[in-house]
A and B are shown apart, each in its own frame.
Chain A
């Protein structure tokens, strides 16, 4: 209610201003609060647009290193040959049109005392800083796996060139070749992601390279939507997908890019195509800003997303420590809205909502007409994030085919909806 009134007032004021166009600009412009957001993915772009929608006079700058955002959700469908990478890509024109100052560049330093963010050629002052840097690969996390190795054994865990590289390797592989995927221990971006990817690669092999097989080497015994995935694998891919758990020797301890081999405690696997999903940490600017702790991720106040380590800096999305919330695009969007609302309150000198609520819904495709989901509702309790008791859960185990087909349709609809909200 209040919101639509505010918009009407804003329109009316704009119209009044237009008819007296010769009036000097109000002094307000100089004192408008400045918020800088670093990282233009689901979290950062949501914060920037929500801030602008809540209070158009806040000066919002979004710093993003790439002029085109490539979304991770649904990039597994690109690997499976079901989708073009272009369908994953979004520009920032509409974000600009919403009044956000979008700067294409890389943040290389933060001065929390002077409240500035440094880019190569400009320094941006802020009253509040928001970091939404996503993940970086922990290049020291798996022996043998460095940046050069990633050009040979792609991770494809940040969508874009790496996705194309892995897709090209899969299509170039001869029928009969072994694909090996390595999955890290928790926490990492998109908990069900490796298993959706395994499903869609298996689908590609089954339909295009039936003599080939995917071996999934996992550093865990349990994973997201596990029974749903495993039931579907048994039904759809009995000859094309084998999952090896931690306790049966799945943990990869080293890789050799020259030989294209992955070593576990139990032996060595030679791959025709190797997809190494390595250990991860918060995106680099989070470390430069000293908002990461010894885990490599960012502790936050779950009601405001302000760093518990550096005041005045907020962190949203995959970089945060917000378990039991997963690191997902939906969560980043949900957090981004709560963070933006908290920032407008803090800038106005009032208290942020004491107990915000969040929703997560993650869909995974197991096959083209076969979708499964997990959903949860979260609230804060003191400094902790908690799952609302008896809420949420995964799709039913015994659902009929039309239920799975509906969830596959909803999965794609979700992607269109959230990307149109954030980038459209």
Chain B
């Protein structure tokens, strides 16, 4: 009985897609404050997990330079260099 409820609890944890920060590189865990990892959250803000790391690094560089217009993302992108972005992008790519 105990084990069954263990599985249930575990499934719920995964289903909720809540806060997973295991070995997140500096800054990475904060992204989900705006970019939902919980599929149930209704938002026009794009999902950024599971995207190729190269694409994320490139997008952030474009936000940083202003080449790609944004409301808030350009201001945040300026807080990270390409080298700081690479591990974050790789970590995001590995998330569901």
Is B45 in contact with A379, judged by CB distance below 8 angstroms? no
**For residues 4 through 28 of chain A, which have their beta carbon under 8 Å from a beta carbon of chain B?**
4, 6-7, 10-11, 14-15, 17-18, 21, 25
Question: Which residue of the partner chain, among A333, A388, A424, contacts B41 with CB atoms under 8 Å?
Answer: A424
> Chain A contact residues (Cβ within 8 angstroms of B): what range?
35 or more
**For residues 46 through 89 of chain A, which have their beta carbon under 8 Å from a beta carbon of chain B?**
46, 49-50, 52-54, 56
Question: Which residue of the partner chain, among A1, A94, A341, A357, contacts B21 with CB atoms under 8 Å?
Answer: A341
Nearest CB of chain A from residue B95's CB, rounded to whole Å? 7
Is A417 in contact with B19, judged by CB distance below 8 angstroms? no
Given contacts A4-B94, A18-B4, A357-B30, contact A54 B22 (CB under 8 A): yes
**For residues 140 through 182 of chain A, which have their beta carbon under 8 Å from a beta carbon of chain B?**
none
| Distance between Cα atoms of A4 and B22 in the complex (Å) | 9
- 1/0 contact trace for B8-24 toward A, CB 8 Å? 01101110101111111
Is B38 in contact with A98, judged by CB distance below 8 angstroms? no
> Chain B contact residues (Cβ within 8 angstroms of A): what range?
35 or more
Is A373 in contact with B79, judged by CB distance below 8 angstroms? no
Q: Which residues in A have their C-beta under 8 angstroms from that of B34?
A: 361, 410, 413-414, 417-418
Does B59 reach chain A (CB closer than 8 Å)? no
Q: Which residues in A have their C-beta under 8 angstroms from that of B45?
A: 410, 413-414, 417
Does B75 reach chain A (CB closer than 8 Å)? yes
- Which of A103-111, A186-194, A245-253, A389-397 is the contact stretch? A389-397
| Distance between Cα atoms of A52 and B4 in the complex (Å) | 18
- 1/0 contact trace for B38-71 toward A, CB 8 Å? 1011111100000000000000000000000001
| Distance between Cα atoms of A76 and B79 in the complex (Å) | 30
Does A268 reach chain B (CB closer than 8 Å)? no
| Distance between Cα atoms of A424 and B20 in the complex (Å) | 14
Is B94 in contact with A49, judged by CB distance below 8 angstroms? no
Does A338 reach chain B (CB closer than 8 Å)? yes
Is B76 in contact with A334, judged by CB distance below 8 angstroms? no
Please give me the residue from chain A that is nearest to B10 by CB atom: A14
Given contacts A10-B10, A17-B6, A403-B71, contact A377 B16 (CB under 8 A): no
Is A98 in contact with B12, judged by CB distance below 8 angstroms? yes
| Distance between Cα atoms of A410 and B34 in the complex (Å) | 9
State the B residues within 8 Å of A (CB). 1-4, 6-7, 9-10, 12-14, 16, 18-24, 26-27, 29-38, 40-45, 71-72, 75-76, 78-80, 84, 90-91, 94-96
A-B CB contact pairs (8 Å), 20 listed:
A3-B95, A7-B10, A10-B10, A11-B10, A11-B14, A25-B2, A49-B19, A53-B18, A98-B16, A357-B84, A359-B27, A388-B79, A391-B78, A413-B43, A416-B42, A417-B36, A417-B38, A417-B43, A424-B38, A424-B40
